[in-house]
């Protein structure tokens, strides 16, 4: 077992963060698989270092790198070359954080050490999985364009042909460890990790929406034009970045979603940058704290300082170098 001193040497260790909550059923299942209480505590500490609630630093970093406006399939897009930070796990979206969590278990040999301990007990080693689907909150609308959530799960390798309902889920984004059956999550796909097989992509492209509700490309009708930044300081709202255009310019906006996954609003910064204007996309979010509103205003202020370069050739060259983006 890794010592406490060794734990503190890992770059993910954040002593000030509370361990990721684990349900009694998940703890019991892991124990039945042979995972000791010390290992369970260690995994909870590792999971707690993955942050989904640092949206302001993320927005500041994205904006400092700027964006490239280009055309693809007769539609306008913005290319963001540094959307996720893959060096330090502070501000990735759910898919990035999930990949980093499991990749880190492999690259630091933590998973090997855990599986060796299980094998020495005559237990089956664990296999991690990458899951995609609907969560219990926020990303829970099958009709929503951004309804897909990503998280990880574990199963003993002897049960590798089993289905997702027998897994223990580790959701490092929403900070919970639960059995599949109690989680309320609905996975549509699950893929076993056999090594560090998932490349983490720090880039993103966003289609630019229009403010005219009568147009097919209206941001008011196409929630999928946005990309998730993370959650609010109190974990009650999800923030998404999008770009909109009118006759004169292209500018950034935010879409916010509450925990029901059904109430969404478009957030635009006033001309004097002192106020946020909210437009319901599905229905209004009934209550927003002053701190949440200030968080939104701060992110929009950073976003409006983002330099946008109109350069088709530069974007096409970048996409050729990164074909998985196209």
Q: Is residue 85 over pLDDT 90?
A: no
CA distance 136 to 163: 19
Q: For residue range 94-120, what is the model confidence (pLDDT) as tens digits?
A: 888 888 888 888 878 889 999 999 999
Residue that wins the pLDDT comparison between 259 and 214 = 259
Q: What is the mean pLDDT of residues 159-170?
A: 82
Q: Kindly list the distances between the CA atom of residue 239 and the CA atoms of 59, 220, 235, 242, 305, in Å, as whole numbers in the listed order.
A: 11, 16, 10, 10, 18
Q: For residue range 119-160, what is the model confidence (pLDDT) as tens digits?
A: 999 999 999 999 999 888 887 777 655 568 899 999 998 766
Determine if the pTM surpasses 0.95.
no
CA distance 77 to 91: 23
Q: Is residue 88 over pLDDT 80?
A: no
pLDDT bin (cut points 50, 70, 90) of residue 57 is confident
List, in sequence order, every beta strand (DSSP E) within the chain.
67-72, 75-80, 126-134, 149-156, 168-171, 176-179, 186-192, 204-210, 227-231, 237-245, 250-258, 264-269, 276-280, 308-310
Q: Is residue 170 over pLDDT 70?
A: yes
What pLDDT score does 41 carry?
A: 93
Q: For residue range 277-295, what is the model confidence (pLDDT) as tens digits?
A: 998 887 889 888 999 999 9
What pLDDT score does 146 carry?
A: 54
Cα angle 132-17-96, degrees, rounded to a multiple of 5: 25
Q: What is the mean pLDDT of residues 53-70?
A: 90
Q: What is the mean pLDDT of residues 165-178?
A: 93
Domain boundaries of the chain, sorted by first residue: 4-49+92-192, 55-83+203-321
């Amino acid at each position: 077992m890794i010592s406490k001193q060794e734990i503190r040497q890992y770059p993910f260790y954040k002593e000030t963060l509370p361990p990721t909550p684990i349900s009694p059923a998940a703890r019991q299942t892991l124990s039945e698989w042979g995972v000791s209480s010390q290992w369970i505590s260690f995994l909870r500490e590792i999971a707690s270092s993955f942050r989904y609630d640092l949206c302001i630093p993320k927005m500041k970093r994205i904006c400092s790198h700027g964006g490239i406006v280009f055309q693809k399939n007769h539609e306008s897009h913005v290319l963001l070359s540094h959307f996720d930070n893959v060096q330090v796990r502070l501000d990735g979206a759910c898919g990035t954080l999930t990949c980093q969590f499991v990749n880190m278990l492999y690259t630091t040999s933590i998973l090997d050490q855990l599986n060796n301990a299980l094998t020495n007990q005559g237990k089956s080693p664990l296999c991690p999985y990458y899951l995609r689907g609907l969560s219990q909150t926020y990303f829970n609308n099958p009709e929503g364009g951004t309804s897909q959530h990503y998280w990880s799960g574990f199963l003993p390798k002897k049960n590798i042909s089993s289905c997702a309902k027998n897994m223990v889920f580790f959701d490092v984004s929403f900070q919970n460890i639960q059995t599949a059956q109690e989680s309320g999550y609905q996975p549509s796909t699950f893929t076993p990790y056999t090594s560090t097989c998932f490349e983490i992509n720090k880039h993103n492209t966003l289609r630019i929406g229009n403010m005219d509700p009568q147009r097919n490309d209206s941001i008011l009708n196409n929630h999928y034009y946005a990309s998730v930044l993370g959650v609010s300081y109190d974990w009650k709202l999800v923030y998404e970045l999008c770009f909109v255009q009118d006759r004169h310019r292209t500018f950034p906006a935010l879409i916010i979603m509450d925990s029901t996954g059904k109430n969404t609003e478009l957030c635009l910064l006033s001309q004097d940058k002192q106020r946020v204007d909210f437009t319901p996309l599905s229905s209004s979010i009934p209550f927003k704290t002053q701190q949440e509103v200030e968080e939104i205003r701060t992110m929009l202020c950073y976003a409006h300082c983002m330099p946008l370069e109109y350069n088709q050739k530069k974007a096409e060259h970048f996409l050729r170098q990164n074909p998985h983006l196209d």
